[in-house]
């Protein structure tokens, strides 16, 4: 049994990618690793790095017309890939100052979201948009939140405010963890149906 790779010897682990706002990556990752079940993270410091998650053109999707792979069978290294390289959920973290800032900052947020949506759609990954506030009073206008949600094409419950202030941090982490778990379950259920088909 020790000869088998780790992904076959241990329970499946969810993978979530954190993009942007690198100051929070270690805090969020540490929290997610302590969850039951734990959640792995793929942290990318900025949006210019999201191309590493783009679907490899050599990857062929499993479908019923594929003669090389019998239906319902996972491809080689599928488990490893989904534990380390292909996230179920991609979380875009933006500073509240960038979201509510000057037009150039807002335009950059919109550009980053468009690029992220292309990558997420290619992988069928779920998207969460997180607006990071340093304090609870550091709020973004309702109009800008609605515009951000529409731009990201996410349901309102997947656009989260994350207050990094010490008094609100635990609550923000709990909300983030439960949202990631919910979306990851949806992703893996859909992925399982797609493979079976």
Please report the domains of the chain, with CATH numbers, ordered by start residue.
14-47+75-196 (3.40.50.2300)
Do 83 and 7 meet the contact criterion of CB atoms below 8 Å apart?
yes
pLDDT of residue 66: 44
Q: What is the end-to-end Cα distance of the chain in Å, rounded?
A: 31
Cis peptide before 37 (omega within 30 of 0): yes
Please determine, for residue 61, whether its predicted confidence score (pLDDT) is greater than 50.
no
Share of the chain above pLDDT 90, in %: 48
Integer Cα distance of 123 and 121 in angstroms: 5
Provide the CA 77 distance to its chain's centre, in angstroms: 21
pLDDT of residue 14: 85
Least confidently predicted of 26-35, 68-77, 78-87, 162-171: 68-77
Give the model confidence (pLDDT) of 115-152 as tens digits.
Answer: 999 989 888 899 999 999 988 777 888 999 999 999 99
Please determine, for residue 114, whether its predicted confidence score (pLDDT) is greater than 70.
yes
């Amino acid at each position: 049994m020790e000869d088998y790779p780790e992904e076959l010897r241990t329970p499946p682990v969810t993978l979530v990618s954190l993009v942007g706002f690198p100051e929070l990556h270690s805090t969020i990752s540490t929290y997610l690793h302590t969850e039951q079940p734990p959640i792995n993270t793929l942290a990318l410091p900025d949006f210019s790095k999201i191309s590493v998650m783009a679907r490899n053109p050599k990857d062929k999707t499993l479908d019923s017309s594929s003669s090389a792979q019998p239906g319902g069978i996972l491809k080689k290294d599928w488990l490893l890939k989904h534990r380390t390289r292909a996230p179920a959920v991609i979380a875009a973290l933006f500073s509240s100052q960038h979201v509510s800032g000057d037009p150039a900052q807002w335009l950059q947020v919109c550009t980053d979201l468009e690029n992220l949506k292309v990558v997420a759609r290619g992988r069928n990954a779920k998207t969460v948009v997180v607006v990071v506030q340093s304090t609870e009073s550091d709020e973004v206008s309702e109009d800008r939140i609605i515009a951000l949600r529409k731009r990201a094409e996410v349901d309102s419950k997947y656009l989260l405010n994350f207050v990094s202030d010490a008094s609100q941090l635990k609550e923000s982490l709990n909300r983030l963890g439960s949202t990631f778990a919910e979306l990851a379950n949806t992703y893996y259920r859909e992925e399982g149906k797609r493979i079976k088909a």
